[in-house]
Amino acid sequence: MKCFLILMVIIVSFATGCNKEEISSPYFVWEGQFYITTHEPIAKNELSEKIGKIREIASKPYENGQAKGLPEGTMLFMVEGQHLGTDKTNDGIIAFERDGEFNIARQIEPELKGELK
């Protein structure tokens, strides 16, 4: 009985820790697609061209150039050999500049869009 209770506590703790209700990382909308920021660094020489910037902060971004958790004016770049996401892909990549460093933002899979907070 004691082992059963310990096992139940472990299972409940694990299930609570794996709750996937919300994504709280900074994210933005570009060309109708949602991108979530990562801490994956990318070298400046891997960027191909500047494509725009974050133009507005929003609590729930849904329009191009809106972001949550990134400052207005954050520059966005294409990555050499990569592509922007479309409604038919889940693998778009955009680089962004923050505090003089470049990082990757990855397209969010459509089923996760409802979990953005």
For range 22-36, the mean pLDDT: 88
| Residue 109 pLDDT | 73
pLDDT in tens, 52-68: 999 999 999 989 999 99
Amino acid identity for residue 88 in this structure: K
- pTM given for the model: 0.74
Domains of the chain, earliest start first: 25-115 (2.170.150)
